[in-house]
Each structure stands twice: as C-alpha cells, then as structure tokens.
Amino acid sequence: MRAHGRASQERVVMETIGFDDFLKVELRVGRVLSAEVFATARKPAYVLQVDFGAELGVLKSSAQITVHYRPEELVGRLVVGVVNFPKKQIGPLMSECLVTGFHDADGAVALCVPDRDVPLGTKLL
C-alpha cells in the first residue's frame, strides 16, 4: 500500500563504469550538412552528413528522428555523436557515427544537442 500523495519510486539498477571507460567514448559535436530521407530503411529515418571538424571530417549516420524533425530543419544544427564505434552497415548505408538523442514520452527521438555554439569536433566532458 502506498502512502497517500506519494508516488512509488523504484530505483533503476544499472551497471556502473569507471571514469576511464567513459573517457573511451568519443562524444563529439558536429554540424549537420545534409539530411535526406533514407528511402530504403525498414523504419523511417534520415541519412545525415555531419561535419565533426578538421580532425574527423564529415561522417554519415542513419537517424530515426523523423517524428520531430524535417530534413530542412536539421541542416545547420549542432548534434552530439559517438564517433569511435565501428562502422555499421545499415541496408545500403555504411553508418560512420551514432547521432545521440533521447526517447520522449511517446518513444520518438529528440536530439541531444549543446545549448551554445561550440567548435566542431569538441569532445563532451
């Protein structure tokens, strides 16, 4: 039985990692150069070309972000991507990075983005 007026709070149990493990993940800021409908994807998605600066260059990604974003809205936006995963074949596309986001209450993806302009390629701390 719950106490009146108090919601049940369950703690999520998750695996912990060391700080050195976190440092291995290359989360970098990039700017979307182009976004096109990924017509052959099994789930609605866009193919993004993301510029991660001079050190990393332009990388491709498939992103299932079609609920909240139109291709023309994405061009010029900053995004946060994981740039050191192995390349992954997604249908005819070789994905070179993972653009990050969060599921909203309905399961659609909202992008993870910096709230200020930062240099391309900057690593998340």
pLDDT of residue 7: 55
Question: pLDDT digits over 52-105, tens only?
Answer: 999 999 999 999 999 999 999 999 999 999 999 999 999 999 999 999 999 999
Amino acid at 94: M
**Which tokens hold the place of 94?**
């070789």
